[in-house]
Amino acid sequence: MSSLLRRNRFLIPRRIVQVSLLVVFVGANLSGWKVLQGNYSAAHVFESFYLADPYAVLQMLVAGFILNIDVIVGAVIILLIYGLLLGRGFCSWVCPMNIVSDLAHYVRRKTQMNRLDEKMPIKRDTRYWILVLSLVVSVFSGVAAFEFVSPVSMLHRGIVFGFGFGLAAVFMVFLFDVFVVRNGWCGYICPLGAFYSFIGKFSFIKVNHAKEDCTMCGNCFAVCPERQVLSIIDKQSGSIPNSECTNCGRCVEVCDDDALHFGKYTKLK
């Protein structure tokens, strides 16, 4: 494997998955493809069963919607896949906003904006408060509150139906990530990412660290969108315990000492 391919061995399949999903959604809308019909909140798969975003379904349920049992089962399937297996993998492998956020992170690094990284104007747990707020607003408004303002939905609608206001919203997120807060939307604000962090606490697949191989070069800190999860680096061996890790694999790709690997959950020691 050439070094470029090895350096991007997770990034390439992540982009393939993200772009393929967008293509099949567009294909469903423009050409009637039956692979995935719907959107990131709920999709009909091969016209035989549903997959649904459990956070969107939760908002609809607390808002008072009566949902088809097939959609609820679809949400439970997704809940089990991420909760038991993939952790917050939705953010780095599926969500199309990850492409925008990674691009902003790249621009920020290349333009030396990352020298401001130590002075973040907001706290990481803001997203959990927004998650709670979105559910409370859903209860009182009778609508799934976050779905109305979600850049994820706007990006999807923009690509499928043609960009309008959606493009402006996504561009604002990009500017926010470049000029205001590193990984600002996904790392501090998005309640959907917070939801997947919450349910992914006990997932099976984790990034594991081998302390004895670590030379503390700092490569992983430079690329990680959620650097706070790397607090065990050079201190303990075992799985990264913080479920805010998106399982993107960037740290594994850039670790020249092979101190980081994907693997099953392992206790810290």
Alpha carbon dihedral 56, 58, 59, 63, in 10-degree steps, equals 140
Helix, strand, coil percentages (3-state) for the chain, rounded to 5, are 60, 10, 30
Q: Most distant CA pair in the chain: distance in Å?
A: 55
- Residue 233 binding ligand SF4, by CB under 6 A: no
Residue 220 in contact with residue 257, Cβ under 8 Å? no
Nearer to ligand SF4, 84 or 205 (CB): 205
Task: Using CB under 6 A, pick the residue from 43, 137, 240, 255 that binds ligand SF4.
Answer: 240
Q: Which residue is nearest to ligand SF4 (CB)?
A: 193
Residue 92 in contact with residue 248, Cβ under 8 Å? yes
Size of the site for ligand SF4 (CB under 6 A): 26
Q: How far is the CB of 231 from ligand SF4 (least distance, A)?
A: 10
Dist CA 209 CA 163 (whole Å): 42
Residue 186 in contact with residue 101, Cβ under 8 Å? yes
Q: Which residues contact 25 (CB under 8 A, 6 or more apart)?
A: 36, 38, 39, 43, 156, 159, 160
Nearer to ligand SF4, 97 or 145 (CB): 97
Q: How far is the CB of 186 from ligand SF4 (least distance, A)?
A: 3
Q: Which stretch binds ligand SF4 (CB under 6 A): 73-81, 109-117, 134-142, 245-253?
A: 245-253
Q: How far is the CB of 244 from ligand SF4 (least distance, A)?
A: 8
Task: Using CB under 6 A, pick the residue from 78, 97, 144, 214 that binds ligand SF4.
Answer: 97
Residue pointed to by tokens 């999709």: 43
Nearer to ligand SF4, 37 or 219 (CB): 219
Residue 158 in contact with residue 99, Cβ under 8 Å? no
Q: How far is CA 265 from the centre of its chain?
A: 20
Nearer to ligand SF4, 33 or 157 (CB): 157
Q: Which of residues 180-219 bind ligand SF4 (CB under 6 A)?
A: 185-186, 190, 192-193, 207
Q: Which residues bind ligand SF4 (CB under 6 A)?
A: 91, 95, 97-98, 101, 152, 185-186, 190, 192-193, 207, 223-226, 229-230, 240, 245-251
